[in-house]
Amino acid sequence: MSGLLYISASPRGTESISSAIAETFVDEYLTTHPGHVVDRFDLWDGTLPEFGPAAARAKMTVFGGGTPEGEQAEAWAAAVRTFERFDSYDRYLFSVPMWNSGVPYKLKQFIDVVSQPAKVFDVHPETGYRGLLTGKRAAVVYTSAVWGPGLGPEFGNDFQSTFFDGWLRWAGVADIQEIRHHPTLTGSYDIARKQADERARQIARTF
pLDDT tens digits, 69-114 = 999 999 999 999 999 999 999 999 999 999 999 999 999 999 999 9
**How far is the CA of 195 from the CAs of 26, 34, 57, 179, in angstroms?**
16, 25, 46, 9
Query: Hey, where are the domains in the chain?
Result: 3-205
Return the H-helix or E-strand segment holding 193: helix 189-205
User: Are 111 and 131 a contacting pair, CB within 8 Å?
Assistant: no
Q: Supply the Cα-derived Rg of the chain in whole angstroms.
A: 18
Return the H-helix or E-strand segment holding 163: helix 160-171
- Cα separation of 8 and 42, whole Å? 5
Indicate whether this model's pTM tops 0.75: yes
Please enumerate, as own/partner, the contacts of 117-125 that have beta carbons within 8 Å and a separation of 24 or more.
Answer: 117/59, 117/62, 117/63, 118/62, 119/80, 119/83, 119/87, 120/83, 120/171, 120/172, 121/170, 121/171, 121/172
For residues 31, 32, 34, 39, the Cα torsion angle rounded to the nearest 10 degrees is: -70
Q: Counting beta carbons within 10 angstroms of the beta carbon of residue 196, is it exposed (0 to 12), middle (13 to 18) or buried (19 or more)? A: buried
pLDDT at 2: 79
List pLDDT tens digits, range 129-186.
Answer: 999 999 999 999 999 999 999 999 999 999 999 999 999 999 999 999 999 999 999 9
For all residues of the chain together, what is the average pLDDT?
Answer: 96
pLDDT at 103: 98
pLDDT at 1: 52
User: Are 131 and 120 a contacting pair, CB within 8 Å?
Assistant: yes
List pLDDT tens digits, range 27-59.
Answer: 999 999 999 999 999 999 999 999 999 999 999
SS3 134: coil
User: Are 144 and 156 a contacting pair, CB within 8 Å?
Assistant: yes
pLDDT at 63: 84
Domain 3-205 has CATH 3.40.50.360: yes
Question: Residues 198-205: what's their mean pLDDT?
Answer: 98
Q: Is 198 left (phi over 0), alpha (psi -120 to 50) or beta?
A: alpha
Reported as half-sphere exposure (CB side, CA atoms, 13 A), residue 59 has a value of: 19
- Cα separation of 127 and 125, whole Å? 6
pLDDT at 33: 96
